[in-house]
Amino acid sequence: MLTKLLEKCRDKKNEMITLVHVSMQRVKSTQMSIRDIMNEVIAFEEGMSHQDDFANLKIVSGLGHAYRACLAEVARRHSYFKLYTGLAGTYAEKLATECETEKARREDFYRTWVKYIPDDIMGSMGLFDSPSQCDIKVAPFDRDLLPIDVDDVEKLAPQSLVGSFLKSERSQLPKSSLSNSSTSGNLNKSEQNPLRADDKMDFQDFLGDHDTIDIAGTSKLEVENARLKAELASAIATLCHLGVEYGYESIDEGQIDSVLKKAREKTAEALVAKDEFANQLKSLLTANKEKCLSYEKRIQDLEERLANQYMQSHMVSGSKGTSDSLLSAFKSNNCNLDVSGGRQTQIRDESSVAMDEASSTSEQPSKQTEGGDENMTDISGALNLQLLDSVACTNLDAFMTELPRDTDNEHTIVSIDKEGRMLTQLTMADTSDVPVEDHHSLELRNKELLVSELQNALDEKSKQLGETESKLSAMTDEVNSLKEELEHARGLLDESQMNCAHLENCLHEAREEARTNKCSADRRAVEYDALRSSALRIHGLFERLNSCVTAPGVTSFAESLHSLAVSLGSSVKKDEADTTVQFQLCIKILAEKVAFLTRQSGEMLDRYSAVQAAHGAIAKDLDEKKEQIKNLYNRLQHEKQASKEKISFGRFEVHELAIFFQNPAGHYEAINRNCSNYYLSEESVALFTQQHPRHPAYIIGQIVHIERRVARPDQMGGAPRPDSSGGRRSPASALNPYNLSPGCEYFVVTVAMLPDPVR
């Protein structure tokens, strides 16, 4: 029992240890993932902080797209100008056709009712006016555009200008927009779409109601080509805009697949629409051919019925030879009609070709179109008249030769009216002189009745034949127009096939470039992982270095740095990056230099203490020397001052001392061995008397100025004269204040007071 309990406890302990170990592993993995996420967040934040520094590079990279978009816009505006003028020409043709139709209708009205109402009454009613011609003028614009086309965009701004990195996105992103522009004629931006889908449908409806003539610049194919070129240029500009907007943004693979899928669907829809349109044209052409064959069969049946009726009418007359000749004449007439019909068709084709050539070079296509139709009508009418005249003459000659000779008294009058129908009238001559039997007169009357019936039947058949010929000509014109439309449709089909092939090539290029971009992205991801791991190692090393740097004290910093270098040297691995190894080597060298600097700083501290002691002794000696120098300087200054303070008794100079005694006249006169005429100026006397309450007996002062003067007799009004020194004397100097003899020279001295110690 205890053994089982022990085994059970051991098993539970092992399970608990395993569970704890697994939990610790999970916690460790979670911590590692959290640390990795934090490192990624730090890296992303650092990258986003430097994102604004590269904003100008995006603008520079968009210069190629902008240049290509400008050239595409120039080509689009050229195509739009062609499209605009083509639409204007088409509207002009429609209005001209309506104008001519209205004119023809008014002429028919005039010809119908002019027999009953005079012209002046119609003129008073205002029925002679005609519709005015509408002139559509397009003022030229965009004259300053460069002379380039859509084909020149690839020459002047090739795809290499915008860079190979953007080519994949160019072939991936705008596929849907390009397919939308080819199928619906509507791009994502309405301002870049030269012709909307509803405008296109209105244009097709407008052209479908009227049979227009192909004029240079206004045909359906040229207008459609201009519209397609404008859409292509607009698509190129849109691609450039998308390249600038998404040039540096990553695109998910799922988004690329969805865009390519949409492009394939749009291409398939365009091909299906193209096949349906081709099948519709083929079915329409087949139906028109069947109608033409049915019309030909009906014409042949009518000709046979007409010949049979004509032969039966002559058989009733009793002349077998005459009927045979008429039958042969009608058969030959049928052959001639067939030949004339072929010739008429040939002439009609030639006239239509001439009309097309004339209308392509004419400034007024509608008028010449109408003129061509009238010429065709005149030619066909002339041919019909000639053929009917020949048939009528042949039948008349045969009928006259085959008539019996006993009808000499009868006058047969055969006339051809202006519509080409034979009118046969039999008149009876005056038989009053010749006896005639009754049965003979009855026979003639029956013949006249039969001829009148045949004439009426012939008139009806001629009318039916004319209507059939008009219908046949209309169907021939319709077949020709359908052939032209079929040729245009074939051209558009070929162009759409070329566009589809181009789209397939672009799709293959997009796939190849998507693969290359994926490979490059994988390679960059591997490089990023390597850089990230290296950055993490360097970050850890920097943290350890930061802890060493922030350690207090120089000695602890050197010791921690040395220990860090030793630990890094022992933990070097072979699979680490070069930058990590270089960083470790730098740390080791830095530790060695720091240790060297630490030792050197200790030595420098010892030297500094010794130098500081020597500096104290030297400073003490220097203070003693300064004191001695100061004493010597003071002694020298005193000696200089004493030399300066000596009273001069010889020649007076400025800055010397002089002594002045008051003479009996009250003037202060200086003591001078050389000359005794040195007097103190009144200003100096006033200066000294201000300091003393009474006049002193003597005055000692420093000479400031010496003025030389000459004593002259008193002369009132005398002007001052210059002295020998070059100065001018004042009016007071002209007097003799010191009572000297005239012509005697004296000096006026101005002195300054001395300091108190000197006095």
Whole-angstrom distance, CA of residue 90 vs CA of residue 96: 10
Whole-angstrom distance, CA of residue 716 vs CA of residue 177: 120
Identify the domain boundary among 597, 612, 627: 612
Looking at the fold, whether 231 and 112 belong to one and the same domain comes out as yes
Structural domain total, the chain: 5
Residue 579 resides in a domain: yes
Looking at the fold, whether 16 and 94 belong to one and the same domain comes out as no
Task: Using the predicted structure, report yes or no on whether residue 598 has a pLDDT greater than 50.
Answer: yes
Residue 206: pLDDT band (50, 70, 90) is very low
Residue-level pLDDT at 619: 92
Residue-level pLDDT at 694: 75
Looking at the fold, whether 104 and 10 belong to one and the same domain comes out as no
Residue 333: pLDDT band (50, 70, 90) is very low
Task: Using the predicted structure, report yes or no on whether residue 101 has a pLDDT greater than 90.
Answer: yes
Looking at the fold, whether 30 and 129 belong to one and the same domain comes out as no
Residue-level pLDDT at 103: 92
Residue 373 resides in a domain: yes
Residue 46 resides in a domain: no
DSSP secondary structure letters along 65-94: HHHHHHHHHHHHHHHHHHHHHHHHHHHHHH
Residue-level pLDDT at 145: 85
Torsion region of 662: left, alpha or beta (phi above 0 gives left; psi -120 to 50 gives alpha): beta
Q: Which of 264-273, 312-321, 331-340, 552-561 has the highest mean pLDDT?
A: 264-273
DSSP 664: T
Cα dihedral 40, 46, 52, 58 in deg (nearest 10): -50
Looking at the fold, whether 448 and 355 belong to one and the same domain comes out as yes
Q: Which of helix, strand or coil describes residue 752?
A: strand
Cα dihedral 736, 740, 744, 749 in deg (nearest 10): -70
Least confident among 85-94, 228-237, 644-653, 709-718: 709-718
pLDDT digits (tens, 9 = 90+) for 540-588: 878 877 777 777 766 677 777 777 777 776 665 555 556 667 777 887 7
Residue 463: pLDDT band (50, 70, 90) is confident
Residue-level pLDDT at 656: 82
Residue 412 resides in a domain: yes
Whole-angstrom distance, CA of residue 749 vs CA of residue 751: 6
Residue-level pLDDT at 492: 83
Question: What is the rounded average pLDDT of the residues 65-75?
Answer: 86
Cα R_g (the chain), whole angstroms: 66
State which H helix or E strand residue 416 sits in. strand 410-416
Looking at the fold, whether 29 and 67 belong to one and the same domain comes out as no
Residue-level pLDDT at 189: 35
Residue 477: pLDDT band (50, 70, 90) is confident
Residue 630 resides in a domain: no
Residue 155 resides in a domain: yes
DSSP secondary structure letters along 258-305: HHHHHHHHHHHHHHHHHHHHHHHHHHHHHHHHHHHHHHHHHHHHHHHH
- Smallest Cα–Cα separation from 364: which of 104, 134, 130? 134
pLDDT digits (tens, 9 = 90+) for 401-449: 334 344 333 333 333 333 333 333 333 333 333 344 466 777 777 777 8
What count of other Cβ atoms lies within 10 Å of the Cβ of residue 348?
Answer: 19
pLDDT digits (tens, 9 = 90+) for 722-733: 443 334 444 444
DSSP 421: -
**613/194: higher pLDDT:** 613
Residue-level pLDDT at 255: 67
Whole-angstrom distance, CA of residue 401 vs CA of residue 394: 11
Q: Whole-structure pTM over 0.75, yes or no?
A: no
Q: Which of 27-31, 64-68, 377-381 has the highest mean pLDDT?
A: 27-31
Residue-level pLDDT at 314: 67
Residue 206 resides in a domain: yes
Least confident among 114-118, 151-155, 427-431, 739-743: 427-431
Residue 629 resides in a domain: no
Residue-level pLDDT at 554: 62
Whole-angstrom distance, CA of residue 212 vs CA of residue 89: 11
Residue-level pLDDT at 642: 64
Cross-strand pairs, 416: 422
Looking at the fold, whether 396 and 498 belong to one and the same domain comes out as yes
Residue 316: pLDDT band (50, 70, 90) is low
Residue-level pLDDT at 34: 92
Q: Where are the beta strands (DSSP E) in 419-564?
A: 422-428
Residue-level pLDDT at 229: 80
Looking at the fold, whether 473 and 363 belong to one and the same domain comes out as yes
Across the chain, what does the average pLDDT equal?
71
Looking at the fold, whether 208 and 90 belong to one and the same domain comes out as yes
pLDDT digits (tens, 9 = 90+) for 247-263: 555 555 666 677 678 77
Looking at the fold, whether 594 and 735 belong to one and the same domain comes out as no
Looking at the fold, whether 540 and 477 belong to one and the same domain comes out as no
Q: Which of helix, strand or coil describes residue 672?
A: coil
Tell how strand 410-416 and strand 678-680 pair up.
unpaired
Whole-angstrom distance, CA of residue 249 vs CA of residue 528: 18
Structural domain boundaries enclosing 401: 296-505
Q: Over pLDDT 90: what percentage of the chain?
A: 4
Q: Over pLDDT 70: what percentage of the chain?
A: 67
Looking at the fold, whether 437 and 467 belong to one and the same domain comes out as yes
Q: Which two tokens stand for residue 561?
A: 């740095």
Q: Which of helix, strand or coil describes residue 143?
A: coil
Task: Using the predicted structure, report yes or no on whether residue 369 has a pLDDT greater than 60.
Answer: no
Whole-angstrom distance, CA of residue 356 vs CA of residue 34: 83
